[in-house]
Amino acid sequence: MEKEKQLKIDALMQSIDKRIEVNQSVVRMALNDAANAHENICFAKYVRAQVRDILGLTGITGAAATTEATAGSFRIENQTGRNGKTGDLVMSNGKHNFVLVLISDRKAWQQKGYTPEGIYVIAPNGETGMISLHNMSLSNPEKGSLSKSGADVCMPFGGYGVHVDGLVEYGKDDDRKNPVINRAGEEIDDSFYGYMPSDKFVNCGGAESKAKGKYYYFDDDDHLLPIPFLSDGVVNPLFGHGDNGKVSFLGDGDSVANTDAIIKLATAQKNWKTDAAIEKKYEAGYYPAACTCRRYHTEGTEAGDWNLPAIAVNAAWFYDFKTVQNALEELAKDGLAVPLNESGSYWSSTERSQSYAYDLNTNSGNVGNNNKDNYYLVRAFCRLPRI
């Protein structure tokens, strides 16, 4: 009887094993098909972008030149005659009603009653929006500052020694399975830093990026990070991922959620929403960088619309540094903006550990982590729909 039972169990197990084997094969085929489809779509977009560049199809005109997109309460129109790109100017004639224009066209739009609000940014992590025309200010958090540097605009991340619940600690041992990879697709190591390419370095004599075009690195350091985009907004699959496909710190993340998590811990700044100035402290309970961003607003936005950007947002505007800088310098002629600091560091809302957060240095393109008590610059980011 026992032998008969064992035979029935063996037969049942063989049947299960066979079904598992068949289904595993089906799943593998489906995954391969999905990967091939994704690769083909990316390749098709890349070829289309190249063809447009070759033929000089930089825009369209007429009735098709205006498109619009909405996200929540935000409404944005596109008057550039093409897909919105990093470096375009965001203008507004009212609350949460924006128009995307070329910086060269901004005078005409100002005559129509529109006000410059920010510089459009497309980040490889999927976030789109605008960075502020001003540096964040401790003494004037509502409006920011036109100062390039100084005690009022350089501030600590805050909360030194405290992990922000809700943020990923990319420096923890159990997160080292999400390594950063370089432009060759090789794991860098556990240093968790690297150097971004940028159009700023075209004439620096640095190492030329593998991508066809204008992007170079500061030098030939062995921690060269991948380019964020392949062409015309097609995201480079190497950027922001480790060699196992998991998201690295460069793939973080969500500026809004990050800032939400940070300001919850501003318990020592209970009146940070109403106080005339934000306290310049880095101890537990103080988060000046995030709080100044949330206090900031413009003609077309409200306090609460702006956030401390995730590191991928900072990487995106640095990738097109000269384009963004040229737009800011044009606005600065009329006292409407302050250009980016050419050799400064900007905080992000991406955390490495209890005592470290990620920043981007505009001198070398270094994306690294530093003590939360260091004093760095802050540019706020307002998330908008992509068009």
For residues 291 and 378, is the Cβ–Cβ distance under 8 A? Answer: no
Where are the chain's structural domains?
A: 1-57, 62-131, 135-387
Amino acid, single-letter form, for residue 371: N
**Which pLDDT score is estimated for 382?**
97
Q: Give CA separation, 321 vs 144, 255, 257, 309, in Å.
A: 21, 20, 26, 16
Residue 156, number of CB atoms within 10 A of its CB:
22
**Which pLDDT score is estimated for 57?**
43
For residues 310 and 258, is the Cβ–Cβ distance under 8 A? Answer: yes
Where does 238-287 have alpha helices with state H? Answer: 255-263
**Which pLDDT score is estimated for 357?**
96
Identify the residue whose tokens are 């619009």.
68
**Which pLDDT score is estimated for 201?**
86
Residue 383 CA to residue 122 CA, distance in Å, equals 10
For residues 218 and 204, is the Cβ–Cβ distance under 8 A? Answer: yes
Segments of the chain assigned E as strands = 67-71, 74-78, 89-94, 97-101, 115-122, 128-132, 194-195, 229-231, 234-235, 306-307, 345-351, 356-361, 366-371, 381-383
Burial of 386 (0-12, 13-18, 19+ CB in 10 A): middle
Residue 111 CA to residue 287 CA, distance in Å, equals 39
Q: How many residues does the chain have?
A: 387
Amino acid, single-letter form, for residue 350: T
For residues 328 and 317, is the Cβ–Cβ distance under 8 A? Answer: no
**Which pLDDT score is estimated for 58?**
40
pLDDT in tens, the chain (387 residues): 677 777 777 787 888 877 777 776 666 666 555 545 545 555 555 555 555 545 544 433 333 346 788 767 889 998 887 888 999 999 999 889 999 999 999 999 999 999 999 999 999 988 999 999 999 999 999 999 999 999 999 999 999 999 999 998 887 755 445 678 887 778 776 667 889 999 998 776 666 655 545 678 888 777 888 889 887 678 888 888 876 667 888 988 799 999 999 999 999 988 999 999 999 999 999 999 999 999 999 999 999 999 999 999 999 999 999 999 999 999 999 999 999 999 999 999 999 999 999 999 999 999 988 999 999 999 999 999 988
**Which pLDDT score is estimated for 63?**
37
**Which pLDDT score is estimated for 179?**
73
Tell me the whole-structure pTM to 2 decimals. Answer: 0.82
